[in-house]
């Protein structure tokens, strides 16, 4: 998971943009929507900046005064699930890496 923008929380406001490697912004938003998390995904009218980050899009969560701790927990759990899903897709399964036979070194 890659957090975009300032890392210092004093420089942040109620908007958090991020990307999860292996998922397009739209796919990440769709998967999190299935958990009840409403996000925006895309280029957010900042294509040059996203291009400088090597991204085509980002997911964006907007927090508001009515956002409660449970909402944030669901978002973070959903992101963890995406990261785990990506990791499981990359892990060798039955001697295979991503559908290809792992190199045996011989």
Q: Active-site residues: which are they?
A: 45
| Residue that has been written with the tokens 């397009």 in this structure | 24
DSSP character string of 31-74 = HHHTTT---EEE-TT-HHHHHHTT-S-EEEEE--TT--HHHHHH
């Amino acid at each position: 998971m890659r957090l975009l923008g300032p890392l210092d929380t004093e420089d942040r406001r109620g908007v958090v943009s991020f990307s999860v490697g292996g998922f397009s912004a739209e796919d990440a938003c769709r998967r999190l929507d299935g958990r009840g998390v409403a996000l925006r995904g895309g280029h957010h009218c900042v294509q040059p900046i996203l291009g400088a980050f090597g991204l085509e899009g980002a997911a964006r969560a907007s927090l508001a005064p009515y956002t409660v701790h449970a909402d944030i927990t669901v978002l973070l759990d959903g992101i963890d699930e995406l990261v785990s899903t990506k990791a499981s897709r990359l892990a060798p399964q039955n001697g295979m890496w991503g559908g290809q036979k792992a190199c045996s070194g011989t």
